[in-house]
Amino acid sequence: MDRSVMSGSILVLLGILGFAVPMFTTQKTEDVARVGDLKLQATENTSHTIPPVVSGGVLLLGVLLIGVGLYKKR
């Protein structure tokens, strides 16, 4: 397979994944205080959203790369 077709396929999959799961959360645990062997921790949840424009752009770029790769083969 051509390198551009392979890259395009990966971008298409990432674009579809961005449309399917537009929001995800991550957790971060920090040490708030430490006294001897005792430590106090806090966990913070952060939500991240992927805009549909970004997902669509990645999907379109992937389709274009696949098209270029297939066109170069001919």
How do residues 55-65 score in pLDDT, each as one tens digit?
Answer: 999 999 999 99
> What's the pLDDT at 74?
74
> What's the pLDDT at 2?
82
> What's the pLDDT at 72?
84
> What's the pLDDT at 16?
96
Residue 17 to residue 69: CA distance in whole angstroms: 22
Residue 69 to residue 27: CA distance in whole angstroms: 40
What predicted TM-score, i.e. pTM, was given to this entire model? 0.75
Tens digit of each residue's pLDDT (9 = 90 or more) over 11-34: 999 999 999 999 999 999 999 999
Burial (0-12, 13-18, 19+ Cβ within 10 Å), 62: buried
Token pair in block for residue 20: 């399917």
